[in-house]
Structure 1
Amino acid sequence: MAHPLTVTISKDGKPVTGLQPYLDPYAHLTAFHEGDLAFAHLHPETKVEGDQGGPTLPFHAELSKSGNWRLFLQFQTAGTLHTAALTLNVG
């Protein structure tokens, strides 16, 4: 199942616009399906243009099953790698 997925990165309620490339793209998103070993590794569709990424990153998510997916988003700002976790329900 293909789904458009948009992630917006903020800190203290303010948009983060200084994303740096991390292993080429501005972010890596890894998704794991609840209850089995299905997973997906995604990169944003945003073209990398220096240290000015964000706050919004569009992804083309191909998640193979409906249900809950645990997502881990890795991105870098000011030379520091961050990991954010969230749960997405695919209907």
Structure 2
Amino acid sequence: MSKTTRPSSISELAALTLKEVQWNPEKGFKHWVLVADKAGSTGRKCLAERDYERAFVEYGKASIIVLKKLPTHPDYERYLTTEQRRNMRLVSHI
């Protein structure tokens, strides 16, 4: 008889997501854009493979980096235009 495990709860997945985002603003802005992009790509791959828990975590990582962390990066104003920053503020309130 095989032992089955229960799916992770949303709060467990959210905690794992936060743990995996090891934010360091000393790393370059472009580094974090690439990390977020890779997390989004990995999320899509996991979704296609029906690994919904991992997809949740990867999409969560991308969202946290793009919507919460990047706006606090020292180079945020340098790399984004006024229009891009305005759009980021709009989506971060959703």
What range is the shorter-chain TM-score in? Answer: under 0.3
Q: Which has the higher strand share?
A: 1
TM-score, reference length from structure 1: 0.27
TM-score, reference length from structure 2: 0.26
